[in-house]
Amino acid sequence: MNDLTSHFPSRSVLITGGLGFIGSNLARRLADLNARVTVIDSLIPEYGGKLFNIAGYEDTIKVNIADVRDEHSMDYLVRGQDFIFNLAGQLSHIDSMRDPYTDLEINCRSQLSILEACRKNNPQARLIYSGTRQVYGKPHYLPVDEKHLVDPVDVNGVNKVAGEWYHIVYHRAYGLRATSLRLTNTYGPRMRVVDARQTFLGIWIRRMIEGEEIMIYGDGEQKRDLNYVDDVVDVLLMTAANDSTIGEIYNLGGDEIVSLKTLAQVLIEANNGEGKSKLIPFPPEQKAIDIGDYYGDYSKIKQALGWQPKVGLAEGLRRTLEYYRLHRDVYW
């Protein structure tokens, strides 16, 4: 399943959220595989999409500036697509608590717009949905497998559960060829680093390059697993190319389980040993939705596809720092 060169050449591919972090990395890889790639992105500033994310690929990636909540646009855009990677979403947990209605619109209503468009206009498309480990909330046991209780701690988690299950229900009721991947902490080039809306590691990267201290909430002993974006792109493509995964939900996960304090130290070492970290108390709004330790069991997808992460944490952080040192003016 690691040879993807025969699956995507000349195939039509649609990526929602395609100018964002994961979407743009996926679009670039698909263009390299000679797929016919169209990306949809609303370019709402808070959500991380940038035209620069596909720099150098302007002639091979078609861009459509549209909002996935627009049913009429989606009715048109899904037609004729062989693969649809549904990555559009509102990711900020704090924003979801401050503005639950927008989170509901983007993470629930928009998913129904996409699925209804597929049901009516392209029921044969292969559909991959980007879910999240946030649906599990505070783990009842570790590592977390797919049988773990779904028990979200914030509005974003609730709406991502709904978005995921719309895909599964449309598979069961209408035969849509959908799969959901529950992503863990993904990092790498082209992620949002202006703030912590997309991932806490984004603002860490920025502060590290600026020579400022990394702020770690609590005692820093919270454990996490992480995936470098290239490994996530690999598994998105492998899943799309394998019809045996249709109708399934899979965890992703990492092999290096680290505390936030250790992660900060690995980041400092990747930054040529330069940098500092500091423990600070949890802000109340963060503490209310903190999940404690989390790391996932990805053995189900490893068994199904043979996928496992290839890029180690130290190497992934080194590549990420290198990218942002080169392009800081664009992302700051």
Burial of 263: CB neighbours in 10 Å, binned 0-12, 13-18, 19+: buried
> What 8-state DSSP symbol labels residue 41?
E
Nearest to 199 by CA among 132, 251, 136, 140: 132
- The least confident of 123-127, 152-156, 180-184 is 152-156
User: Can you tell me whether residue 20 is helix, strand or coil?
Assistant: coil
- Number of CB atoms found within 10 A of residue 79's CB: 15
Adjacent-strand bridge partners of 179: 128
Residue 31 has pLDDT above 50, yes or no: yes
* Residues 41, 65 contacting (CB under 8 angstroms): yes
What's the distance, CA 24 to chain centroid?
11
User: 36-50, 78-92, 163-177, 271-285 — which one is most confidently predicted on average?
Assistant: 163-177
**Domains of the chain in sequence order:** 12-187+227-253+296-310 (3.40.50.720)
SS3 content of the chain, % helix, strand, coil (to 5): 45, 15, 40
Residue range 197-225: average pLDDT?
93
Which residues lie below 8 Å from residue 71, measured CB to CB, with a gap of 6+?
A: 113, 116, 117
What's the pLDDT tens digit per position in 36-74?
A: 999 999 888 777 799 999 999 999 999 999 988 888 999
Q: Count Cα neighbours of 220 within 13 Å in the Cβ-side half-sphere.
A: 13
Percent of the chain topping pLDDT 70:
99
pLDDT band at 287 (very low <50, low <70, confident <90, very high): confident
pLDDT band at 96 (very low <50, low <70, confident <90, very high): confident
Burial of 45: CB neighbours in 10 Å, binned 0-12, 13-18, 19+: exposed
Residue 93 has pLDDT above 90, yes or no: no
- Number of CB atoms found within 10 A of residue 282's CB: 12
Q: Residue 2: what pLDDT?
A: 55
Q: Residue 1: what pLDDT?
A: 45
Residue 199 has pLDDT above 90, yes or no: no
Q: Residue 276: what pLDDT?
A: 95
Can you give the pTM of this predicted structure? 0.96
Stronger pLDDT, 89 or 315, i.e. the higher one: 315
What's the pLDDT tens digit per position in 137-172?
A: 999 999 999 999 999 999 999 999 999 999 999 999
